[in-house]
Amino acid sequence: MQDTAALAPQTGRPALILASSSRYRRELLERLRIPFDTAVPAIDETPQPGETPEATALRLAVAKARAVAAALPASAGRSLVIGSDQVATFDGHQIGKPGTHERALEQLRAMRGREVLFHSALSLLDSATGRTDTVDVVTKVRFRDLPDAALDAYLRAEQPYDCAGSAKSEGLGIALLEAIESDDPTALIGLPLIALTRMLLAAGYPLLTTPQEARE
């Protein structure tokens, strides 16, 4: 886990910490133009027996935030810790990250012409109160029925082997998709920003401020 000893806020804002090693989540959070740090939570992400996809995603999102919050030094002051996890499901089974070209091609072959559900769970933990706000944002994705050659060409071009579902909707992978249904367009990428900004505002975190206000 990253050293978080220097996370005490320099202004009236609480420190904001993203409990994730994902570059996709980091890039999404950067869109909000607010200061934050990252820490990698050390947790077991194995689904529990009989656990639903939604329950898995929510449990892991909360566990990531709690693991990082528990490691904060007393000098850190109040911190808001963001935990997030995503579970994709197809035909009632959880779909993990493929890891290899062969497994990614196998996933895409199975999902072509079919609908896949992505559970993007989000947790915001307030270290001052211990309060945790959670939500599961569900995205329905329907894949196009494309031939093996097209699927193989896509995988070699973008190599999305660290993405559940084997396709990056924010990149060339959009060509594999027939439709996306969601209340939050960023949820599929990995961090539901509409839900997160709602949580941050509810926690009293200032999102839209002038440079002068940000220094106060």
pLDDT at 11: 52
91, 93, 98, 104: CA torsion to nearest 10:
-10
Contact 182, 137 (CB under 8 A): yes
Residue 154 Cα to chain centre, angstroms: 23
Q: Among residues of the chain, what percentage have pLDDT more than 70? A: 91
Instruction: Kindly report, residue by residue over 61-118, the tens digit of the pLDDT.
Output: 999 999 999 999 877 789 999 999 999 998 888 888 899 999 999 999 999 999 999 9
**Stretch among 10-24, 59-73, 184-198 having the lowest mean pLDDT:** 10-24
* Structural contact between residues 80 and 126, judged by C-beta atoms closer than 8 angstroms: yes
Please tell me the class of the 15-211 domain: alpha beta
User: pTM value?
Assistant: 0.85
**For residue 97, what are its two tokens?**
């990250």
pLDDT band at 47 (very low <50, low <70, confident <90, very high): confident
Which helix or strand (DSSP H or E) is residue 195 part of?
A: helix 193-202
Q: Which residue among 44, 85, 136, 152 is the active-site one? A: 85
Instruction: Give the start-to-end residue ranges of the domains of the chain.
Output: 15-211
Dihedral of the CA atoms 149, 153, 154, 159 (nearest 10)?
130
Of 170, 169, 149, residue with least CA distance to 105? 149
- For residue 149, give the H/E element and its range: helix 148-158
| Cα-based distances in Å from 79 to 23, 43, 68 | 21, 20, 10
Q: Which of 62, 27, 43, 32 is nearest to 189 (CA)?
A: 27
pLDDT of residue 208: 83
Mean pLDDT of the chain: 90
Q: In angstroms, how far is the first alpha carbon of the chain from the final one?
A: 31
Query: Nearest-CA neighbor of 165 among 148, 181, 149, 177?
Result: 177
Query: Does the annotation count 136 as an active-site position?
Result: no
